[in-house]
Amino acid sequence: MKKWLLWILILIMLLIPIYTNAYASKVIPGGENIGIYIKDKGITVIGFYNNKNTDLNVGDQIIAVNDITVNTIDDLVATINSEVTNNQVKITYLRNNKKYETILHLDLVDNIYKTGLYVKDSITGIGTLTYIDPESYIFGSLGHDVVNGNTKKRIEVDNGYIFKSKVTSIRKSSDGNPGGKIANFNQNIKYGNISKNTQVGIYGTYDIIPQKELIDVASNDEIRLGKATILTTLKDNTIKEYAIEIKKINDKSINKNLYFEIVDDALIKDAGGIVQGMSGSPIIQNNKLIGAVTHVIIDNVKTGYGVFITTMLKEGEQ
């Protein structure tokens, strides 16, 4: 072969893109119950009492008092107390990502200024760990986003962490009335930091990788209708595997890709079906991780939805 032709072939080979998975092919499976704390970006108005401030709505985010930035409720209270004049302060707030200003009228009651607002700057709850990438230490959990229960808006992560949480009991589910895990919190024992809250889960970095056997990640075209299992915790910190049946596969949805039914008698006996706190429970089929539990169907609590694990992994690596 002539040397110039060889160089052309080498150049062509270098220009051809090499396609690889943008996510790990093996991960550490979860199933552990975890506590979740997320500090929101800003202070969200969630309600009113004795309200004189008609400009503000539920869902507005207060970001400044008299042009002084505030990030927490403690900041808000301290700044109001130091800046108040004639029982009022200027408030800067966000609504649909647009900035507005208004005057907040205050009542002085027993030497304490009352705003007439109910506000929130963070959320604490529980969920189930889905996976940890053993190379990057990135973890994924929940399979859906964390929203403010009052405003129904997704919380924007300023900072956050996952921590130790032990299940003490189960409030059983029944059709029309989903139950939930009841758990103790120990926020002094942190497992990792939260950096993202997305439609397909929360993500961050895990501090100390647990010594567990890795599991293969299934591609979407490997998933089949039929038998599968979930890993979850119903008591203390003990992970158990429970039988489910994959009924439908939908590759068009964001996080409702797997429609499944609980068929495990022990899980039905102990929990009634899917309960709150199971979100993120890994779904296993043919010894591969295929997805995570995301939603319970309220009218039939033995059924629910799961997200593809590939979707979670891709989001986690971005």
Classify 233 in phi/psi space as left (phi over 0), alpha (psi -120 to 50) or beta.
beta
The whole-angstrom separation of Cα 167 and Cα 157 is 26
Question: With contact defined as beta carbons under 8 Å apart, do 246 and 224 qualify?
Answer: yes
β-pairing, 288-296 vs 215-217, is parallel
Question: With contact defined as beta carbons under 8 Å apart, do 120 and 39 qualify?
Answer: no
Could you tell me the two tokens for 61? 């985010």
| Bridge partner residues of 227 (DSSP) | 245
Dihedral pair phi/psi, residue 265, rounded to 5°: -60, -35
Q: Let me know if 195 is a catalytic residue.
A: no
Nearest to 228 by CA among 216, 245, 249, 240: 245
Question: Of the listed 40, 121, 264, 295, which one is catalytic?
Answer: 264
Q: Let me know if 82 is a catalytic residue.
A: no
Question: Of the listed 133, 279, 281, 295, which one is catalytic?
Answer: 279
Question: Of the listed 121, 141, 144, 295, which one is catalytic?
Answer: 144
Question: With contact defined as beta carbons under 8 Å apart, do 122 and 187 qualify?
Answer: no
Q: Let me know if 122 is a catalytic residue.
A: no
Residues 6+ apart with CB under 8 A from 274: 173, 178, 262, 293, 296, 301, 302, 303, 304
The residues assigned a catalytic role are: 144, 264, 279
